[in-house]
Copies of this chain bind each other. A is one copy, B any other.
Amino acid sequence: MNHTIFAEPLTASAFSQFGDVIEVQKNPTVVINQGNCNRYTDLADVDFIDHGRAGISLFKAVACTLPYTLEYVERHPLGSQAFLPMTQHPFLVIVAEDDHNQPVRPKAFVTRPGQGVNYHRGVWHGVLTPLHEPGLFGVVDRIGNGDNVQEFWFDTPYQVSQPGQ
């Protein structure tokens, strides 16, 4: 099995089976503030079960470098999880398909400035991997009781590279 993953540019269509790309759309939902502000409304499937509610948190993560060694993914069975970068830096987004409760075929994406992501409920994903300091993100995820993390360590780590590396 090939254990090298080439990160590709993040697009809504390539990411759709895993979640939402939170980004400016071709046309605003509505123009507000006397023409001074474009509003793009309701861009993510915010999905919490078992009496969870939406909370706004911050994550501040150490920046990583490519090639990145992917040993671990996790998923949240009780809720979606959105990441909004509070900088204009790109970050690395890693997801995997599920096969009988095991993550398979991991994929990696690199964002453009202005893109956030929302992992759909139950989607396997890597931990937060900014590519630049300060690695600060707004996070919208489920606040509530219950076991909301499932972890998986790959037997053989993957190497995530940019094309050309």
Contacts and interface: CB of A to CB of B under 8 A. Distances in A.
A164 to B, nearest CB: 26
Contact of A57 (B39, B55, B57, B87): B39
Interface in A1-54: 22-24, 28-29, 32-33, 36-44, 46, 53-54
A121 B32 CA distance: 19
A60 B37 contact: yes
A30 to B, nearest CB: 10
Interface in A87-134: 87-88, 114, 116, 118, 127-128, 134
A62 interface: yes
A42 B55 contact: yes
B62 A43 contact: no
B41 A84 contact: no
13 contacts: A24-B136, A33-B128, A37-B60, A40-B58, A40-B60, A42-B55, A42-B57, A44-B55, A46-B55, A84-B86, A86-B87, A86-B114, A88-B134
Interface of A: 22-24, 28-29, 32-33, 36-44, 46, 53-62, 82, 84-88, 114, 116, 118, 127-128, 134-136, 138-140, 143
